[in-house]
Amino acid sequence: MSLVLALGFFDGVHLGHGALLSRTVQVAHANGWESAAMTFDRSPGKDGHLLTSVEDRVRLIRSLYGIDRVFVVPFTDEFRHESWSQFLDDLIEKYETKHVVCGWDYRFGFRGEGDADKLREYTAAHGVGCDVISKLRLNNITVSSTFLKTLVKAGDMAAARRYFGHPYTLSGVVQPGRHLGHTLGFPTANLIPIPELVLPAHGVYAVRGTVDGRSWNGVCNIGTRPTVNGRGVTVETWLDGFSGDLYGRTLAIDFYCYLRPEHKFASVEELKEEIFRNQKQAAAWFAAHRQSNSGYTILTDSQQRSVFE
């Protein structure tokens, strides 16, 4: 089957990626071809830090933009040393590519020697269509994975959502914990994030969790649980109204609002009282936002403050 192929790493699947992926689907539909995207199994960058796991990246690319197929290419040492022309030769032959779409800053091949200009020249010479998408700026800021990492690390979920075009999300298989949530009356689902993942600032968030296509509002704590002498960083989520066993099931968490920083309380009872307060804060946040097909609207800073004051 002939393909229109989107080229990039797509970490975070933000609005800049969305412009590229939307164009890919548009060209595919116009020609009766399949839409596809190529990403890698690890970061091609030097720091190796990620906004999304491979699984979340693939899920977002397909669910948000309707891409038919996603190819996850192993970023091996051999692949890293492949010349830019060999990369394109393989791309056209292996994937039956009829049209490619990339971003303005796309680099490929050994030492990033391939760029958008080389891609245009190569595709023109081989009878393959090509679109290069210009940079996307929002509020005078170029939308990029690097910029979004700073927002996520700061716990600024409202701003991150504007530039992602969707909530910051992470998912994983629910792991057994210490069952302290059950003791406190708030049973939690525990995720252990992969080491490469950029996590939001330690603290408590209003979230929406999804399991097997069903979703619940809730509260998530990211951190080391200092009140109960926790070890290592965990992601613990309580889902309002959920009952049942989540162990071994995949939970996807969408982050909407930062409620408070992580704090060591004087007693477990004081912690329990604070969890009740956070539950009410999260419920107030979701109640104050109108839900639509595209998700939750964003309140202004003054409106958001009024919810919690």
Q: What is the CATH number of the domain that holds 7?
A: 3.40.50.620
pLDDT surpasses 90 at 281? yes
Residue pair 57/13 in contact by the 8 Å Cβ criterion:
yes
Q: Give whole-number Cα distances, 53 to 57, 120, 199, 303, in Å.
A: 6, 30, 11, 33
Query: Where is pLDDT greater, at 270 or 28?
Result: 28
User: Does any domain span residue 193?
Assistant: yes
Q: How confident is the model at residue 307 (pLDDT cuts 50, 70, 90)?
A: very low
Element (H, E) at 239: strand 234-239
Q: Residue 53 class from Cβ within 10 Å (0-12 exposed, 13-18 middle, 19+ buried)?
A: middle
User: Does any domain span residue 267?
Assistant: yes
Note down the domain range covering 169. Answer: 162-308
What average pLDDT does the segment 152-176 reach?
94
State the total domains in the chain.
2
Instruction: For the sheet with 129-133, list strands across it.
Output: 69-73, 34-40, 3-7, 97-103, 129-133
Helix boundaries (H) for 82-223: 84-95, 116-125, 145-154, 157-164, 180-184
The model's pLDDT over 7-26, given as tens digits with 9 standing for 90+, comes to: 999 999 999 999 999 999 99
Same domain, 78 and 189: no
What average pLDDT does the segment 185-191 reach?
79
Residue pair 53/170 in contact by the 8 Å Cβ criterion:
yes
The model's pLDDT over 41-81, given as tens digits with 9 standing for 90+, comes to: 988 876 778 999 999 999 999 999 999 999 999 999 999 99
Cα–Cα distance measured from residue 246 to residue 237, given in angstroms and rounded to the nearest whole number: 11
CB neighbours of residue 235 within 10 Å: 24
User: Do β-strands 129-133 and 97-103 pair in parallel, antiparallel, or remain unpaired?
Assistant: parallel
pLDDT surpasses 50 at 305? no
User: Does any domain span residue 146?
Assistant: no
User: Do β-strands 214-223 and 3-7 pair in parallel, antiparallel, or remain unpaired?
Assistant: unpaired
The model's pLDDT over 101-155, given as tens digits with 9 standing for 90+, comes to: 999 999 999 989 999 999 999 999 999 999 999 999 999 999 999 999 999 999 9
User: Does any domain span residue 20?
Assistant: yes
